[in-house]
């Protein structure tokens, strides 16, 4: 349904999006995940037709809608797609009903058909009782529902979301995630959703593209990203808590792990060892396989305790059954497992 082929976007000499290629089937829920400035919103704007690619193509349902090589793009209004902005962008002088009705009116739909479709969409988003109110008379969460209702009213084939939940409080974000997944199932529209929140990505997506510095670091299912991260960036950006990445450096006839000599057998002289937080432990005393760290944080998580320490330029996190008896600021010993879960090279690429 949606295919992106070797897409580039330059602003002057700056490359915001670099050689991105993604393909997802009809009805997929694709999340573009990454930190601020990674290029995900620029990519979404190109999908919406608000930016012209510098090179590469965008294909909706076997029809090219943007071609950067030919400097050509289909008008945003003719792409059969809908975009939900981060700021909601509701018309303040129109009621909720008016906001949802307007794109249907612009599309030339008959008045009776518009009225029926508006009522259908308001009911789907559970905002029917708000139909005669104005945007300044409803809450932020309700405004978000109106923005979504307005977008899906024309029945677009592709739905585009630009961090739509970032302005909501934590509880409402969780509720709206559930509503958006329900909406996706109800409409069947192929969805592209931009976020920097990896919890949103892991809970909502059928496919995830992790971006950094304009490139896709890894593309796959949420399970793929968690179980088999292909780069050190993905390994430390995806997951709650993130994986621990510890440098391993050759030193004489042995190796230093996190600055300490340890009995390890890495696949290269200088690389990084990845340890999952649930594989880490806490030791009562220092041994040849522990790293001393300053205890900086402890928090309960699903009946266990997440322990975080700082030291030697590293930040390590362990998930343990019994929390240490130490206090914040004390030195504690993080126990490394006998073998890392994965190895990564100096360039951040997975070795094994």
Query: Alpha-carbon distance 227 to 22, whole Å?
Result: 20
Low pLDDT (below 70) residues in the chain: none
Query: Alpha-carbon distance 257 to 16, whole Å?
Result: 36
Count CB-CB contacts under 10 A for residue 120. 12
Question: In the numeric block, which tokens belong to residue 181?
Answer: 């997944």
Q: Could you state, in order of their start, the residue ranges of all structural domains in the chain?
A: 2-236, 241-343
Query: Alpha-carbon distance 249 to 339, whole Å?
Result: 16
Burial (CB < 10 A; 0-12, 13-18, 19+), residue 213, is middle
Question: In the numeric block, which tokens belong to residue 179?
Answer: 């509503």
Predicted pLDDT of residue 110 = 94
SS3 94: coil
Contact (CB, 8 A) for 275 and 336: yes
Question: In the numeric block, which tokens belong to residue 217?
Answer: 């670091």
CATH architecture observed for domain 2-236: 3-Layer(aba) Sandwich (3.40)
How far CA 343 is from CA of 244, 268, 273, in Å, comes to 11, 9, 5
- Nearest CA to 280 among 259, 257, 261? 257
Does 2.40.50.100 match the CATH number of domain 241-343? Answer: yes
For 135, list phi and psi in degrees, rounded to 5: -50, -35
Peptide bond into 241 cis (omega under 30): yes
Predicted pLDDT of residue 140 = 87
Predicted pLDDT of residue 203 = 93
DSSP string for 188-241: --EEEEEES-HHHHHHH-SEEEEEETTEEEEEE-HHHHHHS-SBHHHHHHSSSS
Order of all β-strands in the sheet with 63-67: 14-24, 2-11, 55-60, 63-67, 72-73
DSSP 321: S
pLDDT for 12-54, tens place per residue? 999 999 999 999 999 999 999 999 999 999 999 999 999 999 9
- Nearest CA to 279 among 340, 226, 218? 340
Predicted pLDDT of residue 166 = 83
């Amino acid at each position: 349904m949606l295919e992106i082929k070797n897409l580039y976007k330059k602003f002057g000499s700056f490359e915001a999006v670099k050689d991105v290629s993604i393909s997802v089937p009809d009805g997929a829920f694709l999340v573009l995940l990454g930190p601020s400035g990674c290029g995900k919103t620029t990519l979404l704007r190109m999908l919406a037709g608000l930016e012209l690619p510098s090179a590469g193509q965008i294909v909706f349902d076997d029809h090219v809608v943007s071609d950067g090589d030919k400097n050509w793009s289909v008008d945003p209004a003719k792409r059969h797609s809908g975009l939900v902005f981060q700021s909601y962008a509701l018309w303040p002088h129109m009621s909720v009903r008016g906001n949802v009705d307007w794109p249907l009116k612009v599309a030339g739909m008959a008045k009776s058909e518009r009225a029926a479709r508006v009522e259908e969409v308001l009911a789907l988003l559970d905002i029917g009782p708000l139909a005669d109110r104005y945007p300044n008379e409803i809450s932020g969460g309700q405004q978000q529902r109106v923005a979504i209702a307005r977008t899906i009213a024309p029945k677009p084939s592709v739905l585009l979301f630009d961090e739509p939940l970032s302005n909501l409080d934590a509880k409402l974000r969780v509720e709206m995630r559930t509503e958006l997944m329900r909406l996706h199932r109800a409409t069947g529209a192929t969805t592209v959703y931009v976020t920097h929140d990896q919890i949103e990505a892991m809970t909502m997506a059928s496919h995830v593209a992790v971006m950094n510095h304009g490139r896709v670091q890894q593309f796959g299912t949420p399970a793929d990203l968690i179980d088999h991260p292909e780069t050190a960036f993905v390994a430390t950006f995806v997951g709650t808590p993130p994986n621990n990445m510890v440098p391993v450096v050759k030193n004489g006839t042995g190796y230093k792990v996190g600055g300490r000599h340890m009995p390890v057998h890495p696949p290269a002289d200088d690389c990084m060892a990845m340890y999952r937080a649930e594989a880490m432990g806490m030791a009562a005393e220092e041994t040849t396989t522990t790293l001393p760290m300053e205890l900086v944080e402890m928090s309960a998580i699903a009946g266990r305790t997440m322990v975080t320490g700082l030291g030697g330029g590293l930040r390590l996190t362990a998930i343990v059954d019994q929390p240490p008896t130490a206090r914040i600021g004390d030195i504690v010993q993080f126990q490394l497992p006998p073998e890392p879960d994965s190895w990564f090279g100096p360039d951040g690429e997975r070795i094994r």
